[in-house]
A and B are shown apart, each in its own frame.
Chain A
Amino acid sequence: MKYSIFSLARAAFSGHKTWQRTWRDASVKDRYDVVIIGGGGHGLATAWFLASEYGIRNVAVLEKGWIGSGNAGRNTTIIRSNYGLPGNTGFYELSMKLWERMEQDLNYNTMVSQRGVINLYHSDAQRDAYARRGNTMRINGIDAELLDLAAVKKMMPFLNFDNARFPVQGGLLQRRGGTARHDAVVWGYAHAASALGVDIIENCEVTGFARDANGKVTGVETSRGTIGAGKVGMAVAGSSSRVAAMAGLRLPIESHVLQAFVSEAIKPLIPNVMTFGAGHFYVSQSDKGGLVFGGDIDGYNSYAQRGNLPVMEDVCEGGMALMPMIGRVRLLRQWGGIMDMSMDGSPIIDKTPVDGLYLNAGWCYGGFKATPGSGLVFAHLLAREELHKEAARFRLDRFRRGAVIDEKGVGAQPNLH
């Protein structure tokens, strides 16, 4: 079905009781040209780009739960392209440009809201670092503005400007950054991919790989039987190590839990996405009014999808330092998602040493903003057998070659990225 103002009006006249399900309830075929493991944003985006951009439509997306049940429903919805290292800068800008046309491309309202992302700085050294990052962005054709204290005060008068320890001095602003509706992103890709013939198969857990005598992957074993595949793409962030282990691979990845929080709804307060550079705290306000915020990962390996109290306390302290008045707001809910923390904090998109198996992993806790870009470059790899030029540095062997993309500069310490 195609959404338009007329379809909306038609449905309104029948009391919004006639909306159809948005993707087909596909039956499982014996064989596909490409099977994507993982029905999250990245997996669904990959399937959509395979069908729309590369003309490969005999594609299945296998999701062990239901669409939106994994990390796609467990993020803080922020989109931005304010990266400073070669490899990341171009890739995230590619993704940002795809966000800007996503609603037209998918015929789906993903509520992309370019309300701006501002990283606050609190010291001269941090200002210089942000100035450098902003310059890198501008050299690469990406928008960035370094704001001084007066400009920040005008934009966000409610901040605590009297903090003696971490005084706000200014911020690096990317106006094109913002938020998108996380559920709508996966629904939109599922809707658009399904319309092009992609089979989206929910409640189908991959339990192993079918391999031929040469070790080439020929399909996947699943809870719904064996499914043959010309190629298999993994997009299962959080579980990449577990799925790769089924093919005998060890990855430069650890799984960590990241918590996020939503407050009760309040009147419009925060006009953009803000990060508190002195600690690690980021916040935006959802269109419903809730403050959506988060901070660091818990810092130890976990597959539990729930966090622990010390980090919750740390995150809330960061928020209170920036905006003491949010201490009056009640916390509505909190959740934890499992992150693929790679050894340099950057993603991995590559063929694996196992013939026929392709890897899309290691997004750390920045996977949401990458969704469309990740889908495009992974589809490119699956269709063309070569890396997209904006993903050329995301190779799996970069750790061995010493070509890591260590944006945060903390080395092979996933719990510090």
Chain B
Amino acid sequence: MRIVCPFCGERELGEFTYLGDAKPLRPAAGGSEDEVFDYVYLRDNIAGETSEHWYHGGGCRAWLKIARNTLTHEISSVEPAAGVGQAAK
């Protein structure tokens, strides 16, 4: 698996660190216990196309949002993650 970083170009997987599913949004301060539990522990764990956060620690040190297929490891898009992952309104 190789990842085309929007800042650095195509790099090998070892330069990147995986964070996880990009879908869960951190509940706002004062969120209910259910919301926090859901955010911290529960996952869709999709078999197929999913979007996730990766960190390019071996390169530009940017957070990326990557669309990847978990059945084939095929990557369909890579974009900077700036702005995503903010607290849900």
* Chain A residues engaging chain B, CB cutoff 8 angstroms: 241-242, 245, 250-255, 299-304, 306, 308-310, 313, 343, 399-400, 412-413, 415
Contact = CB atoms under 8 A, between A and B. Distances in A.
B42 A301 contact: no
A304 B43 contact: no
B20 A302 contact: no
B45 interface: yes
Contacts of A250: 42-44
B84 interface: no
A166 to B, nearest CB: 20
A250 B38 CA distance: 9
A241 B70 contact: no
Nearest to A404: B41
Given A301-B46, A400-B41, 11 more contacts: A250-B42, A251-B45, A301-B20, A304-B73, A308-B13, A308-B73, A310-B13, A310-B14, A343-B41, A412-B40, A415-B18
Interface in B1-42: 1, 12-14, 17-18, 20-21, 33, 37, 40-42
Interface on chain A toward B: helix, strand, loop, or mixed SS?
A: mixed
A304 B1 CA distance: 12
A236 to B, nearest CB: 12
Range of interface residues on chain B? 20 to 34
Interface of B: 1, 12-14, 17-18, 20-21, 33, 37, 40-47, 50, 52, 54, 70-73
Contacts of A412: 40-41
Contact of A242 (B17, B18, B20, B47): B47
A64 to B, nearest CB: 13
B43 A302 contact: no
Given A310-B13, A310-B14, A301 B52 contact: yes
Nearest to A402: B37
A313 B17 CA distance: 16
